[in-house]
């Protein structure tokens, strides 16, 4: 290794992971797709946190974004459309040692998977969840999504969609036991990275709503979001998502917000004036369903046999 003496190498941690260790294959997303940026950020997070690839699992549904696990050199579960949450909860339930991430799209999460999504928030299992919201169905080629704005022209709404969009932030903040709810944008890599990192550090269902670019099916929206700095507002708080001063300066607007204030968070989410980026809400000491799942691991065969024999005694003749 570049002239390093073997004894010098010993000073490195036994297994120091580099970015390469988390990369697999070539991501087959379109040029300019926001998914590339998220992938890079997540791989960087893995290296920064030195996550053991063998103990890390990426779970997804179906969609362009849900291809994500195939590009991570970790364990992965690319399952069914809308069903990443139950699978991820099942994986984590008896494996507290695994670090589990969920990748889901706006159709995957907010439409077909809406039921599972709501309940997953309530279970508050220790998962890092990234919702890739491009406000459109990508994989199936441009149909409206529940998060599409009114007037979205798509292949199923050629004259423009007519219903108001569902806001994933308001929904999540409305569910009992919500514990970490943040919003970021893929075209601000520094903010996105800080957000994902904070989400990963949180114990519980850490929900990161990522505004994600789809330049192929939503070019005008991408243009509007990325060029109009008036709309976007940075949420500033010491307990929130913090970025360097340089990055902070890239925001035209910023506003204070205490992330322990859930009502304030709901108001921000409901605001039609601005899109706020940052940590909306973080609740501590919430019930984690996976704590229950793992509470009785390791019962031995002898103990099970004794327990069953006691049952047979009860039912014995």
Ligand X SMILES: Cc1ncc(C[n+]2csc(CCOP(=O)(O)OP(=O)(O)O)c2C)c(N)n1
Give the tokens for residue 24.
């697999």
**Residue 254 makes contact with another protein by CB under 8 A:** no
- Assess 18 for contact with another protein (CB under 8 A): no
Minimal distance, residue 106 CB to ligand X, in Å? 4
Task: For the CB of residue 128, give the shortest distance to another protein in the complex, in Å.
Answer: 15
Distance separating alpha carbons of residues 191 and 142, to the nearest angstrom:
28
The rounded Cα 173 to chain-centroid distance in angstroms is 15
Which residue(s) pair with 49 in the sheet? none
* Cβ distance to another protein smaller for residue 35 or 135: 35
Determine, following the binding rule CB under 8 A, whether residue 271 of this chain makes contact with another protein. Answer: no
Does the footprint of ligand X cover residue 102 (CB under 6 A)?
A: no
Q: Residue 2: which region, alpha, beta or left (left: phi > 0; alpha: psi -120 to 50)?
A: left
CA distance linking residue 240 with residue 259, whole number of Å: 6
Our finding on whether 108 is near ligand X (CB under 6 A) is yes
| Residues 6+ away with beta carbon under 8 Å from 288 | 124, 125, 126, 203, 204
Q: Which is nearer to another protein, 95 or 274 (CB)?
A: 95
Considering only 63, 76, 240, 259, the residue that binds another protein (CB under 8 A) is 76
Tokens linked to 179:
């514990």
Q: Is 11 exposed, middle or buried (0-12, 13-18, 19+ CB in 10 A)?
A: exposed
- Work out whether 134 is an interface residue with Mg ion (CB under 5 A): yes
Binding site for ligand X (CB under 6 A): 62-65, 81, 105-108, 132, 134, 136-140, 145
Binding site for another protein (CB under 8 A): 53-55, 57-59, 69-70, 72-80, 83, 85-95, 97-98, 115-116, 118-119, 292-293, 295-299, 301, 303-305, 307-309, 311-312, 314-317
């Amino acid at each position: 290794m570049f002239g390093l003496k073997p004894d010098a190498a010993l000073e490195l941690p036994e297994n120091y992971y580099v970015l390469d260790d988390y990369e697999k294959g070539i991501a087959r997303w379109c040029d300019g797709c926001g998914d590339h940026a998220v992938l890079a950020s997540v791989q960087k997070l893995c290296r920064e946190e030195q996550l053991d690839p063998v103990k890390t699992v990426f779970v997804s549904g179906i969609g362009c974004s849900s291809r994500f696990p195939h590009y991570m050199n970790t364990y992965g579960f690319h399952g069914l459309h809308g069903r990443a949450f139950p699978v991820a909860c099942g994986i984590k339930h008896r494996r507290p040692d695994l670090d589990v991430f969920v990748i889901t799209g706006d159709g995957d999460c907010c439409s077909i998977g809406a039921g599972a999504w709501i309940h997953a928030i309530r279970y508050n299992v220790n998962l890092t969840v990234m919702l890739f919201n491009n406000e459109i169905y990508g994989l199936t080629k441009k149909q409206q999504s529940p998060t599409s704005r009114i007037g979205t022209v798509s292949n199923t709404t050629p004259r423009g969609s007519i219903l108001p969009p569902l806001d994933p932030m308001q929904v999540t903040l409305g569910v009992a036991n919500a514990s970490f709810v943040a919003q970021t944008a893929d075209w601000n890599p520094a903010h996105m990275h800080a957000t994902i990192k904070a989400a990963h550090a949180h114990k519980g269902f850490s929900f990161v709503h990522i505004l994600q670019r789809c330049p192929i099916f939503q070019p005008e929206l991408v243009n509007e979001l990325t060029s109009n700095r008036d709309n976007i507002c940075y949420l500033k708080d010491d307990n929130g998502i913090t970025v360097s001063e340089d990055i902070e300066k890239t925001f035209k607007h910023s506003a204070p917000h205490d992330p322990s204030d859930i009502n304030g968070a709901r108001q921000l989410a409901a605001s039609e004036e601005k899109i706020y980026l940052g940590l909306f809400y973080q609740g501590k000491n919430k019930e984690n369903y996976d704590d229950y799942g793992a509470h009785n691991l390791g019962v031995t065969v002898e103990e099970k046999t004794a327990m069953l024999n006691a049952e047979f005694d009860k039912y014995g003749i």
